[in-house]
């Protein structure tokens, strides 16, 4: 199998605004793609996201937590009807 990272980075720039939590998801992608874990250590995004000892900024970890909370809130029926707090778009 060849190196498919250029394809992954190209796809990461695509923004699908129809998906739930798309803003946080986009920021999360950009943060991880610009981290030393991917740029310097040449690891995959999945490895960087799942390894707690990976060289990733705290800001990226906070975005990861926010994205998980956003996705989890989609299962809450009250949130589904009322919408996400702070999501004006």
Give pLDDT tens digits for 1-52. 445 555 555 565 667 788 888 999 999 999 999 999 999 999 999 999 999 9
Q: Write down the pLDDT at residue 73.
A: 85
Q: Write down the pLDDT at residue 1.
A: 42
Q: Is the pLDDT of residue 83 over 80?
A: no
Which of 28-42, 53-67, 70-84 is least confident? Answer: 70-84
Long-range Cβ contacts of 48-57 (<8 Å, 24+ apart): 56/32, 57/31
CA angle (19 as vertex; 14, 24 as ends), nearest 5? 75
What is the pLDDT averaged over residues 54-67? 95
Distance of CA 28 to the CA centre of its chain: 3
């Amino acid at each position: 199998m060849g190196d498919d990272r250029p394809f992954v980075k190209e796809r990461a720039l695509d923004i699908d605004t129809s998906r739930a939590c798309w803003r946080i998801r986009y920021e999360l992608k950009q943060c991880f793609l610009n981290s030393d874990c991917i740029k310097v250590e040449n690891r995959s995004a999945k490895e960087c996201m799942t390894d707690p000892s990976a060289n990733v900024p705290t800001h990226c970890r906070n975005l990861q937590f926010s994205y998980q909370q956003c996705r989890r809130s989609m299962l809450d029926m009250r949130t589904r009807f009322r919408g996400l707090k702070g999501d004006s778009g």
